[in-house]
Amino acid sequence: MSMLVKGDNNLGDEMKLEKKYSVLLSPTVVELPEGEKAMRKPKSSEYDALDASACFTAIITQSGKVYTFGSNIYGQCGTGMSSLNIWSPTPLIGLSDEKDIYITQVSLGLQHGLALNSNGEIFTWGKGERGQLGIKGLAGVSAPFPQRITQFRLPPTEDGAQQWTEDVRIVEISSGINHSAARSDDNKLFVWGKNVAVSLEKEKNVQDSNFPILVRGLPDEFEIIKVSCGSHHTAVLLENGSVYAFGKTIDSRVPVFEATMILPAGVIDMPVRQFKSRFELTTIVGKDGDQVIQLNFWNDEEMRDVAAFTPTWMDRFSDPIKCVHRGMLHTVIVT
């Protein structure tokens, strides 16, 4: 199967200029290796089989493998080495070859990647300068190949002792620019990376975390349905239709560390077609596609009351909206 994307396996003489300046000026067909086929969604998964960051792309094939291409300065393509670019789809190395273990979701940050397999295990690779890889032993360094996250920190005991666990099965992952989040099958939410933790130093307000820490503030009585990372914040959809968020707000430099409700239950037409944070906004497409809500994340409590709005472009569409994809300076609406 061919895909019309920014990349190519066979860059001939006419592509010398593009390779020299690391840019493609027109859409180019990318051929997967022989025997591999792309698909809309991975096996036993509700998530898309393709994710694209600002500078690289990852594809899950029908065989359950992951192929990447794009910028690779920090090893973010996960092929075992760093280089300027990888121009053709190349498999991630170090993942299981067992047929009954396959990748169900990929999520790409600015220069790091996550992959979730059918056993509920997370693998991360790429730039790790701000702890975005979530590997306790890899503080401040990059990894050019996938490594499994094994240690998750729980809240301390009453006497202040730190608690760790490896018994975590993850069911959803998401990446921001330099942070990531993961939801477990027992309704816990973990976050790691840039500015996600309260600093223990008096002269600082925040600090990075190079291992997953438990997010506080979410009500225990409701199941987490969706998790999505924006550039510097994370949004969470609960089964009752309420939305919580934490991280950096648009009106303060100091992040909100505990999950805070930004949309009450009863507003969203559940179940949603899409729940996706990109850059500073969270976009929600309701059950029938005739409802689109976008949410800002404010630190000011009064502004939170007016954080939700319907985008003005909704007036132009009569057909149901399937999904909305936001870039930094543009939006694509699919009906």
The tokens for 103 are 């990748």
CA-to-CA separations, 215 to 40, 157, 183, in angstroms, rounded: 31, 16, 10
Q: What is the pLDDT of residue 11?
A: 44
Q: What is the pLDDT of residue 179?
A: 96
CA-to-CA separations, 180 to 54, 166, 189, 208, 304, in angstroms, rounded: 16, 18, 11, 12, 24
CA distance linking residue 170 with residue 168, whole number of Å: 6
Determine the average pLDDT of the residues in 34-41. 82
pLDDT single digits (tens) 120-142: 999 999 999 999 999 987 777 89
Of 248, 206, 241, 197, nearest to 223 (Cα)? 241
Query: pLDDT category, 74, cuts 50, 70, 90?
Result: very high
Element (H, E) at 248: none
235 vs 28, more confident:
235
pLDDT at 62 over 80: yes
**Structural contact between residues 60 and 103, judged by C-beta atoms closer than 8 angstroms:** yes
Q: What are phi and psi for residue 202, nearest 5 degrees?
A: -60, -35
**Structural contact between residues 254 and 205, judged by C-beta atoms closer than 8 angstroms:** yes
pLDDT single digits (tens) 235-284: 999 999 999 999 999 999 889 999 999 999 999 999 999 999 999 999 99
Q: What is the pLDDT of residue 43?
A: 66
Q: What is the pLDDT of residue 324?
A: 93
CA distance linking residue 113 with residue 91, whole number of Å: 13
pLDDT single digits (tens) 307-319: 999 999 999 999 9
Percentage of the chain exceeding pLDDT 70: 90
Q: What is the pLDDT of residue 2?
A: 38
**Structural contact between residues 126 and 146, judged by C-beta atoms closer than 8 angstroms:** no
pLDDT at 333 over 90: yes
Pairing type for strands 112-117 and 122-126 reads: antiparallel
* Residue 334, SS3 per DSSP: strand
* Residue 239, SS3 per DSSP: coil
- The region of weakest confidence among 80-94, 121-135, 198-212 is 198-212
- The region of weakest confidence among 177-191, 202-216, 218-232, 236-250 is 202-216
pLDDT at 154 over 80: yes
Cis preceding linkage at 271, omega within 30: yes
CA distance linking residue 4 with residue 48, whole number of Å: 16
* Residue 313, SS3 per DSSP: helix
Determine the average pLDDT of the residues in 104-126. 95
Q: What is the pLDDT of residue 232?
A: 96
Determine the average pLDDT of the residues in 83-88. 88
CA distance linking residue 24 with residue 19, whole number of Å: 8
CA distance linking residue 224 with residue 273, whole number of Å: 16
**Structural contact between residues 297 and 233, judged by C-beta atoms closer than 8 angstroms:** yes
Determine the average pLDDT of the residues in 302-311. 92
Pairing type for strands 206-214 and 224-229 reads: unpaired
Q: What is the pTM of this model?
A: 0.91
Q: What is the pLDDT of residue 7?
A: 38
293 vs 101, more confident:
293
